[in-house]
Amino acid sequence: MAQVTLKGNPVEVNGELPQSGSTAPAFTLVGAGLAEKSLADFAGKRKVLNIFPSVDTPTCATSVRTFNAEANSLENTVVLCISADLPFAQARFCGAEGLENVQSLSTFRNRDFHAAYGVDIAGGAMAGLTARAVVVLGENDEVLHTELVSEIADEPNYQAALGALK
User: Mind telling me the catalytic residues?
Assistant: 60
Nearest in space to 83 (alpha carbons), one of 99, 63, 106, 67: 106
Give the ranges where 15-165 is alpha helix by DSSP (H). Answer: 58-71, 87-97, 112-116, 158-163
DSSP character for 97? Answer: H
Burial of 155: CB neighbours in 10 Å, binned 0-12, 13-18, 19+? middle
DSSP annotation of 24: P
The HSE-up count of residue 9 (CA atoms within 13 Å, CB side) is 6
**Residues 6 or more apart in contact with residue 166 via CB below 8 angstroms:** none
Say whether 98 sits in a helix, a strand or coil. coil
In the Cβ-directed half-sphere of 76, how many Cα atoms lie within 13 Å?
A: 10
